[in-house]
Amino acid sequence: MPPSDSPCEDLIVARPQGLYCAAGDFYIDPWQPVDRAVITHAHSDHARWGHTHYLAAQPGTGVLLSRLPGIDLQSALYGERIDINGVTVSLHPAGHVLGSAQVRVEHRGRVWVASGDYKLDADPTCAPFEPVRCHTFITESTFGLPIYRWEAPQTIFDSIDSWWRYNAAEGRASVLFCYAFGKAQHLLAGVDAAIGPIFCHGALEALNRAYRAAGVELPPVRPVSEIAVKDKAVFKQALIVAPPSAQGSAWLKRFGDYSDAFASGWMRLRGARRRRGVDRGFVLSDHADWPSLQTAIRATGAERVIVTHGQIEPMVRWLREQGLEAGAFATQYGDDALEEATGAAEAAAPVTSDTA
């Protein structure tokens, strides 16, 4: 992308409330209440209560409204150009979860893109990542270290299916922990539903409905709460998908003999499975790995890159070695504890017997 001849002041800056565009007077994924918020996706560290007006990509509105009911929400199609106080804003697929978007901001010849969270691997539950040319790219770097290199998703799903199939043959339930929004639906769409019945924790029910309403195909799934607490036989060949908040809870007793596993990019780390205390760890992430981060950054053509969270220093160092201007913004993104707490709250509200 050719350099801009416009003034060099930053189009987006970091403020205590979040990432701020002064020219348009709006924030991107603010973590404190503001008047106008542009939301990249509905994970809890990016979409929070308290803003007066929200703008988000249309495919993700169902999930966003299920998590933040009653908000004043404007939706936009991917690529649709919207004028906000003289600044042109458009949302482009990020490939992270349903409705995830990169925010393109254009003003007086300058183009900035804030990536939100993203991944490049194919995922049938969301639109694929779209490189967006810009002068300045604000990127995540959750897994910004060379150790983080993902295998093809189908390879991971084959491993999950083998684990589930073995447990089913032994008459043992398979409990798979993962984050309720995004990862759970990715897993449901990827496993072989012919192996046995699939059940879900209550935290996933509203999210699964939102995905189906958006046209995403998921296999038939039954809520665990439909089954009487003492009826353990029905789970002997089943896959049960649950949020991390269910781990170690009394809720697990209803399955009788079971094997458990955790699906996350963090399973790449030595000792992560042991610290989680599960039988198996599957390395499946909704974020870009180290090579994919590099690929995505190069595809933007940006001369300046700002890293927002995750492995910041290694990524900034690599960017500077490539001859790019690089820096960082301090943010509150990447808070897995906040997302897990949201999943736990969603489970607690509508479901009663699930906690037995």
Residues 176 and 257 grouped into a single domain = yes
Average pLDDT over residues 1-9: 56
- Residue 270 pLDDT: 79
Please give the share of the chain, as a percent, with pLDDT higher than 90.
87
Average pLDDT over residues 210-226: 96
Could you tell me if 90 and 104 are in contact, meaning their C-beta atoms sit under 8 angstroms apart?
yes
Checking if the pLDDT of 352 tops 70, the result is no
pLDDT confidence band for 271 (50 / 70 / 90): confident
* Residues written for the chain: 356
Is 137 a domain residue?
A: yes
- Residue 5 pLDDT: 45
Is 353 a domain residue?
A: no
Mean pLDDT, the chain, whole residue set = 92
Residues 133 and 19 grouped into a single domain = yes
pLDDT confidence band for 275 (50 / 70 / 90): confident
Check which CATH number belongs to the domain holding 336 and give it. Answer: 3.60.15.10
Average pLDDT over residues 165-169: 98
Residues 87 and 205 grouped into a single domain = no
Check which CATH number belongs to the domain holding 244 and give it. Answer: 3.40.50
Average pLDDT over residues 168-182: 97
Q: Look up residue 114 and give its two tokens.
A: 């804030």
Is 323 a domain residue?
A: yes
- Residue 14 pLDDT: 96
Residues 250 and 312 grouped into a single domain = no
Is 2 a domain residue?
A: no
pLDDT confidence band for 194 (50 / 70 / 90): very high
- Residue 273 pLDDT: 73
Checking if the pLDDT of 305 tops 90, the result is yes
Q: Which residues contact 35 (CB under 8 A, 6 or more apart)?
A: 25, 26, 51, 52, 53
Residues 20 and 123 grouped into a single domain = yes
Which of 284, 299, 326 is at the close of a domain?
A: 284
124, 248, 123: which is closest to 177 by C-alpha? 248
Could you tell me if 106 and 141 are in contact, meaning their C-beta atoms sit under 8 angstroms apart?
no
Residues 114 and 217 grouped into a single domain = no
In angstroms, rounded to a whole number, what is the distance separating the alpha carbons of residues 191 and 160?
A: 7
- Residue 85 pLDDT: 98
Q: What is the pTM of this model?
A: 0.92
Checking if the pLDDT of 60 tops 80, the result is yes
Range of the domain at 165: 153-284
- Residue 351 pLDDT: 35
Average pLDDT over residues 223-250: 94
